[in-house]
Amino acid sequence: MKHGLFDLGTAFTSDIEEKHSVRLANQLGFFTLMLMGIYAVFSLGYYPGLGFLPGLVALAGAATLLLNMLGHTTASRLVLSLAPMLGVSLYHAAIVNPGEPPLTSLHLSLLCFSLYPWVLFDLRQAWVILLCTSVGVVLGTAQPELDSRLLGGVESTTFRQGSIFWITYALGTAVAVASLLSLLQKNERVRRENTRLIHDLRSRNQQLEELNREFENQSERLMHFSEETLRHTAELDEQRALLEDKNKRMTLYSRYLLDLSRDSGVQSGNLNEALSTIVRVLHKSNIASRVSIWWYEERYASLKCLAAINSDEYLHPEPVSIDLNQFPNYHQAIRSEEPIVATEALAHPATIDFAELLLIPHNIHSMLDIPFFIEGKLRGVVCCEHQGEQKTWTPEDQFFVKAVGDVIALAFGNTETRRQHQDISTLNEEITAQNEELMAQREEIIAINESLEKQVQERTEALAKQNAQLEEYAFINSHLLRKPITNIQSLLPLLEYPNNLNRGQLIHLLKISVEELDHMVHNINLTIQANKEMKAEKEKK
């Protein structure tokens, strides 16, 4: 509990010396409170009107504890350094008779209280010590005058008693000795602390020198690192700029490719419209100042221009062909199915053959020729020609032209699909027409069959009737023919007799029979002819 009382206010600081000063102030404040309490008790017994003076000093001791508890440590020490000296001086002047020697105990108490500032304050706070000491000196010098002038003075026999005198003397001496020892101990502690601090300062000075050398080395390394960092930063900025440019180009190329893939000409298979759009997009992308699309004829070793653009206006190609036999290096290069990237076209082995025909007349400095494929076979070349100055095509540029080649292959595929659809549509129309014709013929055949069946039935009936008539006619004719034949057969034997007197009559009868037979044969022939004509007419019907 006591230790807790003396530790009031130490929690407000982390400095060890400050904690010691606060603890010492609490101890001195408690001592002052007790001492002045004793003076107040005796004063109440003998000088009731003056008991408030030591009571006020006792309150100053209590105020020290309270101020420390509230964290006002400097104010508590200042109160403890001034209030006891002022209170004891006034109390001494109030109770001492004029002309008598002062009370030794009060002088000792005043001496003790005058040592408080030296104990409570650090030597670095010399102005406070000087102020409080000056107040003590003034009070000690002015004490006789105060004793003779203030309140007239009243002698106290109580404080002249031996026991009280020695108690106060012992207490004053103890406080003085304790204050002096505390001051010496504090000074010794300060000296040791200063020695330690000097040693630490020297050690730290050496460390600082080492750190300074290390810092200089680090500074040199940092300067070197800074230069390297600046160089790397410049390189990174350059790389970042290149990446940003590449990203912008790739974004632009992606948008162009998306537009081409959605183009109506490409989707519908309208080849002329598709190729026109493709060369316009290539020219718009600033890939080159001249762009053309060529069809490769492997059989004839030639290239045929399908579309070309030389400015903002689309140029419909005339039937221009290039005989690759005249340019063997270029022919071999495109047959390798690899891109031809000729930054310096006049020096590139694949394009130098075009110097007189194409490069010099048209001021072409760089060429980029990318083959395109249909169903895995080389079918053509996308030719990009840059005029006026050399141009270095990046991998992104080459990728874009390759992708455009794929769009061209898609357009050709859609064109073939469109043609096949048209052929299929034509065949469907022809098949539909043939089906309709076959259906009509089928219906006609069915009708003809029905008619033929009817005709066959009618003819069968007619033939049956005719056969019956013919049988009847044959029966009749057989009887009719038999008569003249019988007559002739009967007359002919009569003619064999030589002396037949009726020969002339027989011949006449025979002639009549022959004429009847001839007439009947003629009628039969007419009947047969009429039947033939009737059959012919029915067959025609």
Smallest CA-to-CA distance from 33 within 14, 6, 15 is with 6
Assigned fold of 266-423: Beta-Lactamase (3.30.450)
Residues 366-386 have a mean pLDDT of 92
Residue matched to tokens 């800074």? 226
Structure tokens at 202: 């020297």
pLDDT band for position 333 (cuts 50, 70, 90): very high
Same fold, 266-423 and 459-540: no
Q: Are 120 and 80 in contact (CB under 8 A)?
A: yes
pLDDT band at 243 (very low <50, low <70, confident <90, very high): confident
Question: Lowest-confidence range among 72-76, 218-222, 318-322?
Answer: 72-76
Tell me the C-alpha distance between 330 and 350, whole Å. 5
* Strand, coil or helix: 6: helix
Model confidence band, residue 339 (pLDDT cutoffs 50, 70, 90): very high
Residue 182's pLDDT band (cuts 50, 70, 90)? low
pLDDT at 13: 62
Contact 43, 35 (CB under 8 A): no
Contact in structure between 105 and 164 (CB atoms under 8 Å): yes
67-121 pLDDT, tens digit per residue, is 767 767 677 777 776 667 667 766 666 665 544 444 555 666 666 676 677 666 6
Nearest Cα neighbor of 25 from 70, 78, 104 is 78
More confident call, 316 vs 344: 344
Instruction: Tell me the pLDDT band of 367, cut-offs 50, 70 and 90.
Output: very high
pLDDT of residue 341: 94
Q: Does the predicted model carry a pTM greater than 0.95?
A: no
For 7-65, the pLDDT digits (tens) are 665 666 666 666 766 777 777 777 777 777 776 766 666 566 565 666 677 777 777 77
Query: Which of 163-172, 207-216, 428-437 bottoms out in mean pLDDT, i.e. has the lowest?
Result: 163-172
- The pLDDT confidence band at residue 489, using thresholds 50, 70 and 90, is low
Residue with the two structure tokens 């190609």: 317
- Look up the CATH number of domain 459-540: 1.10.287.130
Scored b (16 or more CB within 10 A) or e, 312-336 reads: eebeebeeeebebeebeebbebbee
pLDDT at 165: 44
Q: How do the domains of the chain map onto residue ranges?
A: 2-203, 266-423, 459-540
Q: What is the per-residue pLDDT across 407-423, written as a single tens digit (0 to 9) for each?
A: 998 888 888 888 877 87
Q: CB under 8 Å to 271, separation ≥6 — which residues?
A: 265, 411, 412, 415
Q: Which residue has the higher pLDDT, 248 or 472?
A: 248
String of DSSP letters for 115-153: HHHHHHS-GGGHHHHHHHHHHHHHHHHHHHHHHHHSS--
Q: What angle do CA 462, 467, 469 make, to 5 degrees?
A: 95
Is the pLDDT at 158 greater than 60? The verdict is no
Q: What is the phi/psi pair of residue 2, to 5°?
A: -65, -45
Q: What is the pLDDT of residue 477?
A: 60
